[in-house]
Structure 1
């Protein structure tokens, strides 16, 4: 049997107008006809509308009027709504649809003109704050309504404007029409009731509040306004059975306190969260107040934000239960990837490790054996930490290799992360790690990688520890110079240069000098370090990756991982396409560096010593061994590119400098790094995956924890820690570490003065000269 079709007249671009009988008509715009049937899907229908009217599909809203009712717009938000609409108009065979877009306010119903003045005079409407009620909301919002001369006036509270109030009226004034109006469920009815009370400026209370029937009355004493509604038998529909729409409370000064529902606020901010995942709670408070004239406290907005996130991205708890299937899907869609997790004895989540095959293959084919280890806290409902391992590609840009979500930063979790990292980062060369020097991490690297890796301490952490351990109070300038000398000592490629820097530090503070000598410089100073850091001294090389985490860290765990996967997919694709257009032999950044060395090599003099060893003279004398790719300036070994001394020799031998660059910097190796693609994971949207079966392994969320007491380190624009802060200096004794109020000398003088006043003055009043001396002594 063929499905019966309904012709949908889709209109957009016009405006709604309200007549004297409160019925609405649509004026202007353009219209198209589309066939619909009971099996039509809303997503496909919206895509067709978006293409037709040139709208963004996510911003579309489809509305229609029920037969015989031109006062209430019904929203189509799911497939069932679309099917219900087709059934309503099956006999007539035609329906009017109104296509609204949030991108353009001229097409929205909120722009319909305000209700007529005659109606305003009779009803004496007032615009109030939102009147909503939910048990979990803590704060309350005062509502004050007021009328003057029987005319409608918008309530102006703390900057709330008339336009804001008009928006509320035009959206919600006709949301409840009367007897036989149907709602999809009780929640929709209650939401409509809240909005209706706002638009008409009254408060209400439930006389009966049951799951299948409710009775509501106006809270004003003696007012006859009532609604009786109940569930339609055998369905989830909620229908208004009786309604008395008459109010006798106009002109009465009504004051009440109500709680604001997080459901309603959540529905409003949900779309904004979709566009801006880091939508701040304080911004929610300001936006709701500015746009709707409703004041929320911080806790109300925070709870509403949490509810909106769950509606938008799915349940945080459910995301943990879907981890087993989620990891299977990662490996299934990206063969060769590693996605594994562990739980505690009570099945609560402990840690998750993810490394995509494209990252594994890219690291082995074109990245230097250099890995940066770091961590960042997560601000999701269940907190936790994200451990990351990033590498450096041939263009000196960050390359995400692997990451792990763990319940906390601990020695055990670092050991587990590095154990899995060893499997994905296996290479024939010794790997250099740049990381913190905390005890657990040092021991884990030594135990897992043994002699097959070097551990370079992050210099930012070294500088921070130095500044913290200095016992003597130093001025801001002295500390700044000491840290400056520390960085210079770390970058010095020769022993004599390192010693000059440390001696300079010793002149400021012997204590600081002794600390540096005892701080294992063979792990952070270039002159002693055995590995190859290629000039990188900080573990925060992967800061762009941490910005991705910052954008996604409040999402449920599976959504967060998939968000990072999406960023990786875009990154690999973009760099693969960009590099395909390069015409240089080296990557762009390395090509620029080599050209700079070539330009400096023109004025250098080269003298042959013996075999493959040559002497190159400039301001200094350097020895170059062309066979071993070695120069006494150490720049060639450190950077992987021939220095100007080596270039001068290579030119003399009529060879190409490109033949003496490390292979990681060639455009060919770079393209191999990004040759593999990262594929999407299907069914990861909203709830991410289907419900697990009864036999599936269930993962529960970790216990909720208080926010980490660790304070984020402030970074300067150059990426260094802002660890040097100005030291207090007393304006009296010129000492450091305290101000005038805490100065011991001043306190001692005050004490002497008090003793003199109590002991000597009762016996004999001092003369004016003595008083003058005392005053000068005090100051």
Structure 2
């Protein structure tokens, strides 16, 4: 039987626009063709067919589509699995809209933006105050470098490659009776027209009713007058003298590029490629316009373009009350709450969607990972995250908070909100840092109803930090390895062996390990059920989402995370609908791996439900209490090979003795609920903010100057090697800076002379 085909309505050459009513996206303009797809279609074949259809290159081609019922989040197809998943999503609807964004289209969009080219006098796009008669510079059109000019070239000596971007602007102004929808549209057209024809201008009149502009060159008769068309909102050119006598003399001074100018140029490409790098911006501006930018100039221009696209950071804080209200309206059962300080500045925001709350309560094991990540937006801050593990051992976001800074007080507030969100009678195990604020907050809020497992990654970092300067790199590396082995050791004897290995290197390090409360991190002592998860960075997937969106205004960053979670839940629900096994695929694989080891074991009945299993070692299995002396069954939630040997001997099914959280049924319960879109996140409809009585202003902290520091890789093995002197064997210096060695040399020289 042939695979079912769906019709792909492929569109290219247009652009995305936003519906002001609900914030959804729609595609306008361009061409459309219909192609058929099925589960056997390969991405490279699909791209080749699209390339022939739209006459564009396969290289640089991007393919996107909307999920069913969601017109706000574009999904990218980058591999064959993505294409098959899209076909599966739309198998019931028979057709799907696909959008092709080609590299050439991006270049065209970029070249269509206004730009000044070659005059040190800024061509202003700003609005002059009523009655003004002066040259204006927009707030964003401050020179990009206040001390040194940007390397520019006069327009009249541009080669054809650099001039091509401005040629198409020659007819943006055509003459008298030409109409525009608004004054900003007219000013933008005028800006382009002046670039294409190589002259600068200044405003004589510029208000909400009329605009009069003349050539800036003294004595040149070129001028234009536009005003509002009577009884309409249209702007019409009433008078125009198109003759120039200046012969472009003013152009030879060269335009002075501005941050706002470059921001306008790159805005469209940044919309398509959010990860547009400053160095790529500089290369493109040099290639297209012949203007040399350094890295910081390109970075600042990107910031302005991003603010033009995403809105103001300050306005985003003002929208928080409206945004929280919309989250709870569109996702009933969700929690979205915020708090401000006495001066109305932002303090913290907590969000937990109903789909996350329900998924954790219905299908996830009672295990929560607590972690934090710094935000690099204009006002900085920290994101606190609570994630869990689903039945297939994948990350499941439960709740998150944005706080002005990571403090004990903010952690206490976050955990209080978390408890009210995931209220459950189950005893929860938390994996988190051992810092005082988290430890005391968990004890105060959850009391005896929880276990706190210290994160092994933080513990290893602390050991390495405390030992730095005392031991060589190799010695510290071995002690961290032994610490990790001690944490994973299931029995007391194995833990003690690892501790003795540390003691052999350093008794001080051994004492450090013993005093670090092994009952909170070592399997041999820990009382909670953490299913062999030892570090709190299990939710690394969620943190990677944050790193992609942490420079956005706060409301948009939260909405990006919501979109990622919505897509994750939908995708996993669809994928799991094809599963036929009783356990999830990963747990099924682990169980089969244990079963393959059980064949050579000998099983002896001791009494009741207790059995002795003999192999390379002798282990005792109690099937009624789900217990084995090897501790593998208790630590993982899956029967170990010794227990499976007993089940095979008794003719019982191993599946009956697996944790219910690993079943496909529980997995389905985890992803039953959906997260719904939140409309008008970017720009609320007029009047929607008027009913909010609470005023929220940005926090006082701002991002420091310079490039943000990259977060280091999270690994237990990353230990920075220290210098070691080859003379005295001391740490922290080399032979050139060795005080002992240099002192001896000085003494010898004194004796000689």
Deviates more, 1:482-491 or 1:137-146: 137-146
Partner of 2:38: none
Distance change >3 Å, CA 139–CA 337, structure 1 → 2: closer
The separation in 2 between residues aligned to 1:751 and 1:331, in whole angstroms, is: 76
Q: Distance in 2 between matches of 1:198 and 1:445?
A: 63
What residue is the counterpart of 2:243 in the other structure? 245
How far apart are the structure 2 equivalents of 1:521 and 1:179?
A: 84
Q: Which residue is equivalent to 1:675?
A: 672
Q: Which residue does the alignment assign to 1:745?
A: 740
How many Å separate the matches in 1 of 2:220 and 2:741?
75
Q: What is the match of residue 144 of structure 2?
A: 139
Distance in 2 of aligned mates of 1:362 and 1:300 = 46
Tell me if structure 1 keeps the 8 A contact 2:582–2:663.
yes
Give the whole-Å Cα distance in 2 for the aligned partners of 1:742 and 1:230: 75
**Equivalence for 1:478:** 475
1:434/1:238 Cα in 2 relative to 1: closer, same or farther (>3 Å)?
A: farther
Shift in alpha-carbon separation, 1:281–1:755, aligned structure 2, 3 A: same
Residues 198 and 251, structure 2, Cα contact 8 Å, conserved in 1: no
2:252 match: 254
Match of 2:453 in 1: 456
Hey, what's the Cα distance between the residues in 1 that align with 2:547 and 2:719?
A: 26
**Contact 1:366–1:393 (Cα < 8 Å) also in 2:** yes
Paired with 2:191 and 2:659, the residues of 1 have a C-alpha distance of 69
Aligned mates of 2:405, 2:685 — CA distance in 1: 24
Is 1:294 equivalent to 2:288 in the alignment?
no
**Alpha-carbon offset, residue 106 of structure 1:** 8.4
The CA deviation string for residues 17-62 of structure 1, in whole angstroms up to 9 with x for no partner, is xxxxxxxxxxxxxxxxxxxxxxxx9x9998575575679xxxxxxx
Post-superposition shift, 1:311?
A: 3.0
- Partner Cα separation in structure 2 for residue 253 and residue 44 of structure 1: 44
2:731 is aligned, of 729, 736, 757, to 736
Change (3 A) 1:411 1:236: farther
Q: Structure 2 length normalisation: TM-score?
A: 0.78
The yes-or-no answer on 1:425 pairing with 2:444 is no
* Aligned-partner Cα distance in 1 for 2:300–2:250: 34
**Conserved in 1, the CA contact under 8 Å of 2:153 and 2:290?**
no
Alpha-carbon distance in 2 for matches of 1:282, 1:568: 31
Aligned: 1:154 with 2:166? no
The aligned counterpart of 2:223 is: 227
The CA distance in 2 between the partners of 1:185 and 1:741, in whole Å, is 71
Q: Distance in 1 between matches of 2:306 and 2:606?
A: 72
1:600 partner SS: coil
Greater relative contact order (CA < 8 Å, ≥ 6 in sequence): 2
Give the CA deviation at 1:553.
1.8
Shift of 1:537: 0.5
Q: 1:494 to 1:181 in 2, by over 3 A?
A: same
Deviation at 1:233, TM superposition (A): 6.9
Q: Which structure 2 residue ranges, 5 or more long, are not aligned? A: 1-10, 14-20, 36-98, 124-136
Q: Match for residue 526 of structure 2? A: 529
Counterpart in the other structure of 1:121: none
Task: List aligned pairs for 1:95-174, cutoff 5 A.
Answer: 103=102, 105=104, 128=118, 132=123, 133-136=137-140, 137-140=142-145, 141-142=149-150, 145=153, 153-154=157-158, 162-163=160-161, 165-174=162-171
Structure-2 separation of matches of 1:298 and 1:184:
37
Distance 2:685 2:411 in 1: 28
Match of 2:512 among 487, 512, 515: 515
Post-superposition offset of 1:708: 11
| SS of structure 2 residue aligned to 1:678 | coil
Q: Does 1:580 align with 2:584?
A: no
**How many angstroms apart in 2 are the aligned matches of 1:367 and 1:46?**
37
The CA distance in 1 between the partners of 2:361 and 2:26, in whole Å, is 45
Answer whether contact 1:606 1:615 (CA < 8 A) is retained.
yes
Cα RMSD between the aligned structures? 3.5
Q: For residues 616 and 711 of structure 1, do their structure 2 counterparts lie closer, same or farther at Cα, with a shift above 3 Å needed?
A: farther
Which residue matches 1:568?
565
- Aligned to 1:340, the other structure's residue is in SS state strand
CA distance in structure 2 between the partners assigned to 1:563 and 1:417 by the alignment: 21
Are 2:215 and 1:217 equivalent residues in the alignment?
yes
Task: Quote how far apart the aligned CAs of 1:673 are.
Answer: 1.1
Distance of 1:101 and 1:334 partners within structure 2: 32
| Paired residue secondary structure (1:172) | coil
Match of 1:641 in 2: 638
- Distance in 2 of aligned mates of 1:370 and 1:53: 49
Q: How big is each residue's C-alpha offset from its partner over 1:603-659, in whole Å with a ceiling of 9 and x where there is no partner?
A: 111112222211111111111111111000000000000000000011111100001
Distance 1:744 1:54 in 2: 78
Change in CA separation of 1:573 and 1:690 when aligned onto 2, cut-off 3 Å: farther
Question: Any conservation in 1 of the 2:12–2:31 contact (CA below 8 Å)?
Answer: no
Tell me how far 1:557 sits from its aligned partner: 1.9
The Cα of 1:556 is off from its aligned counterpart by 2.0
The structural deviation recorded for 1:585 is 0.7
Distance in 1 (alpha carbons) for counterparts of 2:567 and 2:557: 16
Please show how residues 269-280 of structure 1 align to structure 2 within 5 Å.
269-280=266-277
Q: Distance in 2 between matches of 1:684 and 1:214?
A: 38
State the distance in 1 between where 2:673 and 2:495 align: 43
Deviation at 1:396, TM superposition (A): 0.5
Deviations 1:257-283 (A, max 9, x none): 624151x33333222332333333343
Q: Deviations over 1:282-324 (max 9, x none)?
A: 4333332233322334554444333333332333222222222
Give the drift of 1:417: 0.7
Q: How far is the alpha carbon of 1:242 from its aligned partner?
A: 3.6
Q: Give yes or no for contact 2:109–2:268 (8 Å, CA) kept in 1.
A: no
Match of 1:383 among 380, 401, 407: 380
- 1:530 aligns to what SS in structure 2? coil
Q: For residue 620 of structure 2, what is the aligned residue in structure 1?
A: 623
Q: Which one of 606, 617, 642 corresponds to residue 609 of structure 1?
A: 606
Structure with larger Rg: 1
The whole-number CA distance in structure 1 between the counterparts of 2:283 and 2:545 is 26
Deviation per CA, 1:498-548, whole angstroms, max 9, x where unpaired? 111111112222221111111111111111111111111000001111111
Alpha-carbon contact 1:109-1:171 (below 8 Å) kept: no
Q: Is the 8 A contact 2:177 2:236 kept in 1?
A: no
CA gap of 1:372–1:180, structure 2 versus 1, over 3 A, is: same
Aligned mates of 1:480, 1:107 — CA distance in 2: 49
Q: Which residue of 2 aligns with 1:498?
A: 495
Aligned-residue offset at 1:471: 5.1
State the distance in 1 between where 2:590 and 2:24 align. 52
Taking the aligned partners of 1:505 and 1:688, their CA distance within structure 2 comes to 64
CA distance in 1, matches of 2:25, 2:633: 62
TM-score, reference length from structure 1: 0.75
How far apart, in 2, do the equivalents of 1:238 and 1:465 lie?
Answer: 70
**Take 1:340 and 1:512, find their aligned partners in 2: how far apart are those partners?**
45
CA offsets, 1:690-748, max 9 Å, x none?
54116633222222423499965422xxx525540111122443432112331113432
Task: For residue 680 of structure 1, give the secondary structure of its aligned residue in structure 2.
Answer: coil
Out of 710, 719, 725, the residue aligned to residue 724 of structure 1 is 719
In structure 2, relative to structure 1, the CA distance for the partners of 1:129 and 1:724 (3 Å cut) is: farther
Which residue of 346, 349, 354 maps to 2:346?
349
CA–CA distance in structure 2, aligned partners of residues 106 and 319 of structure 1: 31
Distance 2:493 2:26 in 1: 71
Change (3 A) 1:326 1:443: same
The answer to whether the Cα contact below 8 Å between 1:110 and 1:171 also exists between their aligned partners in 2 is no
Contact 2:346 2:696 (C-alpha < 8 Å) held by counterparts:
yes
Question: What CA deviation, in whole Å up to 9, does each residue of 1:304-352 have, x standing for no partner?
Answer: 3333333323332222222222222222222211111111122222111
